[in-house]
Amino acid sequence: MKNRQPRGARRWLGDHPWENVIRTLSIFWHLPEEEFNTPPARQIRELWERESGNELTLAEALRVCRRCQTAMPFGKYDCDSFVIVARDIVKPFLSQMSATLAAAVITILGDYIRGGGDEREMRHAINLIMGRAETEAESIADKGLAGQSVSPGSL
């Protein structure tokens, strides 16, 4: 199996056009179409479309997901659309990890995209993806995840 590392700038968001984001929202959360035509939703769409055409580092792409997720105007819905996009972006790299480490990465990134984590945690997850961590046990212990239940579905 070829070792695929997330190095350098790429069009990370290019495989996720706005129409796919809308489809995710519509399928998972049954949002009516008028929800996508509000001024805040249009601003998010403009940001997404502008950035999805750019070459970004993985950290920059995750920041775009976070900005869009935290600005979502669909407050009455539990929308994790940009968390789902972030999971899809890193999914090819997760298969190179143990299930435990992949679940930890998914949890860390999900928290970051939702606005709960910070830049340091996001960078830690990227380092885990890139194989920079010393060992799995040390990485999980560093994050304080040892002994906690981590669900792969949380991202």
Domain boundaries, the chain: 18-154
Q: Using only the alpha carbons of the chain, give its radius of gyration.
A: 16
Which residue has better confidence, 99 or 71?
99
Res. 140 pLDDT band, cuts 50 70 90: very low
The confidence score (pLDDT) of residue 121 equals 93
> What separation in angstroms does the CA of 30 have from each of 2, 37, 132, 136, 155?
39, 15, 40, 39, 19
Mean pLDDT of 6-23: 83
User: What does the DSSP assignment read for the chain?
Assistant: -------S-B-TTTTS-HHHHHHHHHHHH---GGGGGSHHHHHHHHHHHHHHTS-B-HHHHHHHHHHHHHH-S-TTS---HHHHHHHHHHHHHHTTS-HHHHHHHHHHHHHHHTT-S-HHHHHHHHHHHTT-SS-HHHHHHHTT-TTS---GGG-
Report pLDDT digits (tens) over 36-93: 888 888 899 999 999 999 999 999 999 999 999 888 766 555 568 788 889 988 998 8
> What pLDDT was estimated at residue 124?
92
Q: pLDDT band at 109, cuts 50/70/90?
A: very high
Nearest of 113, 94, 95 to residue 105 by alpha carbon: 94
Query: Could you tell me if 52 and 14 are in contact, meaning their C-beta atoms sit under 8 angstroms apart?
Result: yes
Q: What is the Cα–Cα distance from 112 to 92, expressed in whole angstroms? A: 19
